[in-house]
Structures are given as structure tokens and as C-alpha cells.
Amino acid sequence: MSLPANFRNNEDVKYGQLRLVDIPSELRDNVPWFNQTLTTVNDAVVRLGIFEGDFPWHKHVDQDEFFFVLEGEIELDVEGRDPVHLGLHEGFTVPKNVVHRPRSPKRSAVLMVESLGIVATGD
């Protein structure tokens, strides 16, 4: 798998619980491909991704992955079906063990909800 050269994956929980999550500052201060865990909710993590270009095909064997577009637009290529276009404030869940990849023609911000311990680049 060939990751984008500038891919940054920050798995530390930046905000945690009982703290204001400052998404505007994260969007202002970071560039694509950025992935930051913002907080945890029960057994899930909430991550912010800034996408631009193509991410490699991958899958998560035991975990679903939810994508929600905050800014811009993305295409989700999903094995066995037509690409799914997500515009502003649209979401989509990729079930576990399904090969997929996000693509974005321009800088886009995406909120992702995933299980604790998920590997952003797949299993």
C-alpha cells in the first residue's frame, strides 16, 4: 500500500471528554492528508480527516467506518458497487471487511467514527 507522501495519522486523543472540540482551528492549522483522533465515545473514536487526492484501497476486518463530510466533498470507492458521492453534511457507513478508499478532488474535511484501536490504513 502506498500512502500519500504527506499522510499524518495522530492516534492520540487530542481533546478527550468534557472539553470543547475546536474543529475550526484544526481545519485552519492542518493540511491534507491529516487524521486526528479528537475524542472517544464509549468504545468508539471520533476522528477528523482532511483529504485531498486518493487514499489507498484498504479494509478493516472487524470494524465498521462512518464518514461524514464537514467541508468539501468526497468519493468513496467501495468494492463491488458504484462509487458513493458524499457532499456537504452527508454521511455513509462502510461495513467491516469491505474494501474501500476515499478520494477527494479538492481539500475536504471529514468526520469519522470508528472503533477504538482501528488502524486508519486498514488491517
* CATH number, position 33: 2.60.120.10
Question: What is the value of pTM for the model shown?
Answer: 0.89
Residue 111: inside a domain? yes
Residue 3: inside a domain? no
Q: Looking at residue 117, what is its pLDDT?
A: 66
Residue 80: count of CB within 10 angstroms of its CB: 6
What is the tally of structural domains in the chain? 1
Strands 84-86 and 74-78, sheet pairing:
antiparallel
Bridge partners (DSSP) of residue 82 are none
Q: Looking at residue 122, what is its pLDDT?
A: 55
pLDDT above 60 (res 123): no
Residue 123: inside a domain? no
- In this predicted model, what pLDDT tens digit does every residue of 6-45 receive, in sequence order? 677 778 899 989 999 999 999 999 999 889 999 999 999 9
Residue 46: inside a domain? yes
Residue with the bigger pLDDT between 57 and 7: it is: 57
Residue 2: inside a domain? no
CA 100/CA 78 separation, integer angstroms: 4
Residue 122: inside a domain? no
Domain of 86?
A: 8-115
- In this predicted model, what pLDDT tens digit does every residue of 62-77 receive, in sequence order? 899 999 999 999 999 9
Q: What is the DSSP letter of 23?
A: H
Taking a C-beta distance cutoff of 8 angstroms, is the pair 92, 82 a contact?
no
Q: Looking at residue 9, what is its pLDDT?
A: 77
The distance from CA 118 to its chain's CA centroid, rounded to whole angstroms, is 11
Residue 1: inside a domain? no
Q: Specify the 3-state DSSP secondary structure of 83.
A: coil
* Mean pLDDT along residues 84-113: 96
Residue 64: inside a domain? yes
